[in-house]
Amino acid sequence: KNEKPFPKVDIIDIFKNRVQEYLEYRFEGKIINHLEYRGGKWSEEYKWKILPQVHNEFFKTRITKDNIIEKIEILRKNNPQSGSFVSWTNIDDLKKFAENDRAKVADLFTQLFDEKNNIADRINYFIEAGKKFKKDIKLGTPLFGYILAIFNPGKYPLFKGSTWQYIKKIVGGDALNIGKKYERFTEYCIKIGEYLIKNNLLRDISVNNVLVTKDLKALNGQDFFYILERNVPVESPVSSRVKNQEDKNNPNHTNMAKQPKNLILYGPPGTGKTYLTINKALEIINDDGNYCQGKSREELVKQFNVLKQNGQIEFITFHQSYSYEEFIEGIRPVLEGELNTQCATEVKYRIKDGIFKRICRNALNNPKVNHVLIIDEINRGNISKIFGELITLIEDDKRKGRENELSATLPYSGEIFSVPINLYLLGTMNTADRSIALIDIALRRRFVFEEIMPNYDLLNNNIGDLNLRKLLIKLNKKIEILIDRDHQIGHSYFMNLNTEADLHSTWYNKVIPLLQEYFYNDWEKLTKLLGKYNQQDNTGFIEYKKDGEYQDLLGDEYADYDIDQLPAEFHKYNPGELISALAKYYG
């Protein structure tokens, strides 16, 4: 009610002297330097491709209360991870609103797309309905820009707050509500888009293998303002390299240029190797070694899963039976026809791509975007059998575009195959696994190995009188003496333990079975590690059988046996007793 009129301006008159600058960036290749310097996100380059695809998926069926959650999930999965169209909290709040009242939200979507009313009224009506569900609901302008651009990218632009602030700084004007803000932004984008088309300044081009169509007025107008907002001077290749070096020297930015193409995280079980692959993958994808700092685990996992769905990250676990045909390509039977009493199903054989070939293809088709293949338990597989002749191709200097580029002809399809430079292989290896000695020399030579050991600083809590950090340190020191450092116990076994019951469950269901595997029922060493059970003061864990049953079974030979050679078992304390026993034995 207190808003002042936004100034009526001739947006063409204000910006037409910047048109040539925009065209140089967009159509003469300078956009590449611009995006490299500013950390441009793939969503800006690929909006022309994404939005029509999402439109087809979203409007495949009409919107109803029965499928509204499914429709919102389409918005979620297609919201780019890097350079998102809209904040994830907006989509989360929208989904919660729909889960509370499916029919209402389905109707709101229908009204949002009803062009009999103006844009501002449609958006503001949607927001007011959302506030009745939750007063502080987050439904921002970028959300409606995303939804409406999916509806019609020629008529409705994507919205970025920074771009709007850039325009407002130039044309002046007071704040507007969300609906009117998007309405005015749309007006400006369409006018610019029409001007570019009318003067035949746009042409269909391919940016990173994506066709940029000249007839999408609103989207081209948004692109115009987005590029100019960055306001990067036209740079020669030399000045571009200088600026990139300045970025690398910035203490707040860690460029991933030195990140090895093939990396294996190795260490004892429970040290968080698989856990860390999520962080590593996101840092590689975003080309920023500090990307995960300050972000919650929930947020990182959500981003990781979206990238998996998009095919930018793949995850596989190797095992002894895993083969070349599953990893690269192989011939697989396909059933055709119908089974009935008179005719059996016809079996045909077709070549099926494996996970490695698929992600290599994705990386080749998207050369400006990093891709990551995570191989869990990489040492459990037969590396020579799985990679075959392609093991050489994963080396950095043998990849496509490198000075020593190599390719190979695949045996089944006959395709010429090479490994792209924007694909990273990230493996994990459990050093306590007995197959560690069988690591293929080819694997050792082609991967960088990063050791991940127990991080005791992550354990800072007590349960009763027991300090978990000190417990694990002393336990691992004994294990290192009795076996080696590769068989230590990782910190993750003792994380998130808050009660006696939590520790009791972890100790007897996870730690003890792991120790049994380590020591192969060597009760003498287990006794040195955990102590012999003493009933008088309730300490120690290894309880030897000394009853008359064994004397009766062995007879005169009983005296020939050392007591430590007789059958033993782990004494089972109750939760309260366990805390006391561990505290006494390990100080």
Q: For the chain, give every residue range classified as CATH 3.40.50.300.
A: 262-317+357-451
Q: How far, in Å, CA of 249 to CA of 263, rounded? A: 24
Considering only residues 456 and 550, tell me which one the structure prediction assigns the higher pLDDT.
456
* Residue 251: predicted pLDDT: 44
Half-sphere exposure of 68 (CA within 13 A, CB side): 21
Give residue-wise pLDDT tens across range 280-315: 999 999 988 888 988 899 999 999 999 999 899 999
Q: How far, in Å, CA of 516 to CA of 151, rounded? A: 61
Buried b / exposed e over 186-219, threshold 16 CB at 10 Å, is bebbbbbbebbeeeebbeeeebbebebbbebbbb
Residue given tokens 């500013």 in the structure block: 38
Residue given tokens 């050679």 in the structure block: 565
* Residue 502: predicted pLDDT: 95
* Residue 36: predicted pLDDT: 36
pLDDT confidence band for 524 (50 / 70 / 90): confident
pLDDT (average), residues 165-185: 81
Which of 4-13, 271-280, 416-425, 540-549 has the lowest average pLDDT? Answer: 4-13
Q: Of 15, 106, 14, 23, which Cα lies nearest the Cα of 61?
A: 106
Residue 249 has pLDDT above 80, yes or no: no
Q: How far, in Å, CA of 244 to CA of 481, rounded? A: 49
371 in Cβ contact with 312 (< 8 Å): yes
Count CB-CB contacts under 10 A for residue 270: 22
* Residue 454: predicted pLDDT: 95
* Residue 26: predicted pLDDT: 60
**What CATH number belongs to 262-317+357-451?**
3.40.50.300
Give residue-wise pLDDT tens across range 353-386: 999 999 999 999 999 899 999 999 998 888 889 9
Per-residue HEC secondary structure of 275-317 comes to HHHHHHHHHHHCCCCCCCCCCCHHHHHHHHHHHHHCCCEEEEE
Give residue-wise pLDDT tens across range 438-457: 566 777 788 888 999 999 99
